[in-house]
Structure 1
Amino acid sequence: MLVTRTIRRKMEFWLAVLAVVLGGLAASSITGLTSYKQTKKDLELSIQSAPRSADLATAISLLIRPCAIDVPMEPGPARDSAARLQMREFEQAFQTARNRVDDFRSRLDSLSITHRNAALSETHRALFARIDDTFAHLEAAGQCLTRSDRDRQERFILQNAAALLGTIDSIPDPAMELSDRLALAEREYRWRLAVVWTTSVIAAALFLGLAVCGYRWVFAPLSALHQGALRVADGEDFDFRIESRTNDELSELADAFNRMTARFQQVKADLDQQVHQRSRQLVQSERLAGVGFLAAGVAHEINNPLSAIVGAADSLDWRLGEHLDKFPPDDAQTVREYLHMMQTEAQRCRQITERLLNFARGTDTERNLYDVTAIVQEVVGMTHHLGRFRNRQVLVDRTDPCYAWVNGPEIKQVVLNLVANALESTGESGRVSVAIRECPEHVEIGVTDDGVGMTQEVLEHIFEPFFTRREAGKGTGLGLSISHRIVQDHGGSLEASSPGKGLGSTFRLRVPRQAGKQRAA
């Protein structure tokens, strides 16, 4: 089940396991200390009930007290009476001493094995053996206190009792030894208790710190990554960026996610722009097709009347040439102007219809490798000879050859149209820049001017036939349409852009570098 859960659940589970382990260790330590404390209490009780060497010495001292009874030295009833009294007192003292020694021995034997010193126990065992042996001799000596050699028996009793007291004084007191061990156990218990509580507090603090750091360093960044990924995947907000300040792999992952989102957003914007451009091109192509059919029909129908008008005007000019001298000078001049106007405008109409026919039919001319730089330089050289553009400046950023698979005259016509339009849109001291850039798949020609610029509405209709911003009679509106058609036939693209009105314009022409990239006309 843990495999199917989230990372957060897994880490919470292992933190809980760690908490249980730490709690178990702390509980075990505290339980051990509690048991140790109980043992210490048992030791205290053992000390309270433990026999003391002073009690044993007091019991032995009882054997000396009967010897202090004054017994006359001269034989007689008084001596015998005193001797019998001394013997009875000794028997009572002996019995009391034996009882106390037996009580001492039983209390010593009742001590826990863990509370007794092995060496001291052996010493006590030897002492009790000596006491038993001495008591046997003392009991026999006590029976002889009424005899004539009682003085020797009395000295024997005193000597053995004194020897036992000296031996007892040289043996450590069991209670004192247990007290020392109790003091040592008390110090060790307090030290271990302090260590347990200190380590428990440190472990708890480390666990809390681990939990907080785990949340800040792992849980929160992972949650942010998860929420951000879901937010972007659901398409809610592609501007969303994940902020991570952990300075580790998660931070690098968040940065990579942000870069991926930015790249995706850029690709989406590019695709949207391409869709918009393709839609415009499709609409443009449909319009051009319709206009082409219309233009072909109109041009064909108009060409015959225009030919008749041009022929009639030429014939009339020839026939009136020898008779105009008979007319008044003003009338003759007027006739000549009208005839010239008829011929000029008729010829202009024929040029327009010819361009319409070319536009409708399209071209299927031969293509080859042409130096685009040379074509641009030739066009720029032609514009220098146009008087109305003498105050303009045309700059080309490249002189090295740059080859593309094109029809040279057609591309020359396109470049000339773009440069002429750029010069037309600039004023006095205007500037036109032509940039040639060589790319892996195509050659790009950028024509930029600092002229009147274009609005968004103009940009949407700039390549439509008969669309022009010039004054009436100064343009047909077919130049950019024909140029766009030529570039499309080459398999390239022609795009227009402008920051706005009065901010200049830029036209970018792209043509393929190799054969096979152009589309069929």
Structure 2
Amino acid sequence: GCIQKAQEELFEFRRRIEHLPFQNEEDLRQREIALGRLDAVYGELYQLRQLNSQISGMAATAELLAFRDLQHRCGLAISQIQRTLETLPAWQTRHWLQQSQKREHDRSATLLKIVSWSTAVGIVVFLATLTAALRWISGPLREIARGCTRIANGDTSYRLAQISKVQDEFADVVAGVNCMADRFQQSEEDLQQKVRERSDQLLRSQRLANVGFLAAGVAHEINNPLSAISMAAETVELRLCQRDDADSQEAKEILRRVAMIRRESLRCGAITARLLDFSRADRAVRSTVDLAQLIREVLDMVRHLGQFSDRTIEFECERVIMAEVSEAQIRQVILNLVANGLQATDAGGRVCVRLTEQVDNVVVAVEDNGCGMDHETQQQVFDPFFSNQQSGRGTGLGLSIIHRIVEDHGGTVTPFSAGAGQGSTFQVRLPRRARRSAAA
């Protein structure tokens, strides 16, 4: 049974060797040698099997010796088979290892080439993509940076063009920069307007200061001869009245001329008094005053003047509004503004006074439907001695005094008019509390 099993395994092993792939002559030669040895061993095993079947029929003595000899020969054959079998697997293993190493080497080389080429292509694609992305990002950013620099250098009218056709982050940035430029431009225009207003205010203040300084000296110098002229005219008038021919036509003409001298001298005295008021610094005591009540008192006084009985005067305010002001000076401001509005209207005209309050300010608006003002008149309306009234009806100091008083209170007075014949509005804005420096 053992010999038959060895034959079967040897036959299976020989069949496997026959089916091995060989590609060179050395491998074929080794295979032929191995197959020859296997065939020799297989033949000896066959003989052993034949002998084994004959052993059972031998005699006990002579046949036993022959059996022992045959057993020795079988042992030698088996040893040779074992050596052959031990040699063949080693040769097969080396062959398979060489083939496997070669295949793995070829496979590794091929894989390495594929990986190398793939890596190179990937790097090239990555660099190309990165370059394109950088250009796609840096290009618009450079445009935005140049636009921002141009705006920062003072060109607030410059606007960035839309870089992208789609609504992406760049479009949002461009819209934000343009919005910022709009605000910068608006702020610059507001600042320029404020600079112009402050410059005009400074020039006006300088003119007012110069006029005030000059007016103080002129008023003092003129008051003395005016007093003498007035007293002399009064004396002449008294003496003419005491003469016997006072009722004559010549005496009446002289009295009329003397009365005119007195009247005009008094008018000049009133002008010099206003000049002195204009030149004086603000030393009035300020207190908390109900402006609504103050304006009502001024309007009641003006309504009783027969000169303006054919005009309508309105007042819009139904509650108490308090402010810390000089009562006498603000009364003069309201009186001058209302009188100015009445003088600017014809018979049947209307003057409306509105009083409103804000968080920190009170606003008095005097509106009339009179002759109105053009732009040039609005620019000059606060200049001393400027007047667009008929000759002899004004001194040109009323609005200048108003401007001076309101500025001393820390407020503003602003004229508004749509043009000639469209009426006028003067808006006075006063702080609710007096400035400490001004109040002192």
Task: Provide TM-score, normalisation by structure 2.
Answer: 0.63
- Partner SS, residue 155 of structure 2: coil
- Matched residues in 2 for 1:391 and 1:512: separation? 35
The answer (yes or no) to whether the contact 1:225–1:242 under 8 Å persists in 2 is: no
Does 1:109 pair with 2:27?
Answer: no
What secondary structure, in the 3-state scheme, does the structure 1 residue paired with 2:159 have? coil
Structure 1 unaligned runs (5+)? 1-101, 112-127, 137-199
| SS of aligned partner of 2:387 | coil
Q: Structure 1's 449 and 220: CA in aligned 2 closer, same or farther, altered over 3 A?
A: farther
| Structure-to-structure mapping, 1:255-404, within 5 angstroms | 255-323=175-243, 327-328=247-248, 330-404=249-323
Percent identity over the alignment? 42
- Check if 1:485 corresponds to 2:397: no
Q: Secondary structure at the match of 2:366?
A: strand
Deviations 1:197-245 (A, max 9, x none): xxx9xxx9xx99xx79x95xx6676455434322211112336366587
Deviation at 1:479, TM superposition (A): 0.7
- The one-letter code matched in structure 2 to 1:277 is E
Instruction: Give the distance between the partners of 1:363 and 1:419, measured in 2 at CA.
Output: 22
Q: What aligned pairs does 1:70-149 form with structure 2 within 5 A after superposition?
A: 109-110=21-22
Aligned amino acid, residue 205 of structure 2 = S
SS at match of 1:378: helix
Are the equivalent residues in 2 in contact too, given 1:228–1:242 (CA < 8 A)? no
Which SS does the other structure have where 2:428 is aligned? Answer: strand
Instruction: Pick the aligned partner of 2:345 from 426, 434, 456.
Output: 426
- Summarize deviations over 1:51-102 as a string: whole Å, max 9, x none: xxxxxxxxxxxxxxxxxxxxxxxxxxxxxxxxxxxxxxxxxxxxxxxxxxx9
Q: Tell me, what secondary structure is at the counterpart of 1:109?
A: coil
**Distance between the aligned counterparts of 2:427 and 2:246, measured in 1?**
60
CA distance in 2, matches of 1:393, 1:518: 40
Distance in structure 1 (CA, Å) of the matches to 2:151 and 2:383: 39
Q: Give yes or no for the alignment of 1:414 onto 2:326.
A: no
Whole-Å separation in 1 of the counterparts to 2:406 and 2:243: 52
CA contact (8 A) 1:423 1:449 kept: yes
SS at match of 2:426: strand
Give the distance between the partners of 2:169 and 2:331, measured in 1 at CA: 56
Q: 1: distance between equivalents of 2:206 and 2:341? A: 27
Contact kept, 8 Å, 1:405 with 1:511, in 2: the verdict is no
Tell me, yes or no, if structure 1 residue 466 matches structure 2 residue 378. Answer: no
Q: Aligned residue pairs: how many?
A: 341
| Alignment TM-score, normalising by the size of structure 1 | 0.54
- Corresponding residue for residue 148 of structure 2: 229
Q: Secondary structure at the match of 2:389?
A: coil
| Aligned-residue offset at 1:511 | 1.9
Q: How many angstroms does 1:507 deviate by?
A: 2.4
Confirm or deny: 8 A CA contact 2:246 2:252 kept in the other structure: no
CA contact (8 A) 1:444 1:510 kept: yes
User: How far 1:291 sits from its partner (Å)?
Assistant: 1.6
**Alpha-carbon contact 2:372-2:422 (below 8 Å) kept:** yes
Structure 1 residues 502 and 253, CA gap change in structure 2 (3 angstroms): farther
Shift of the 253–376 alpha-carbon distance from structure 1 to 2, 3 Å rule, reads farther
RMSD across aligned C-alpha pairs, in angstroms?
4.4
Once residues 349 and 472 of structure 1 are traced to their aligned partners in structure 2, the CA distance between those partners, rounded to angstroms, is 15
Contact 1:487 1:494 in 2 (8 A): yes
User: Given that residues 452 and 504 in structure 1 are in contact (C-alpha distance below 8 angstroms), is that contact kept between their aligned partners in structure 2?
Assistant: yes
Mapped partners of 2:398, 2:192: distance in 1: 28
Instruction: State the 1:483 CA deviation.
Output: 1.2
3-state SS, counterpart of residue 21 of structure 2: helix
Alignment check: 8 A CA contact 1:488 1:519 kept: no
Once the two structures are superposed, what CA deviation does each residue of 1:329-380 show, in whole Å capped at 9, x if it has no partner? x345434422322222221111111111221223311011112222333333
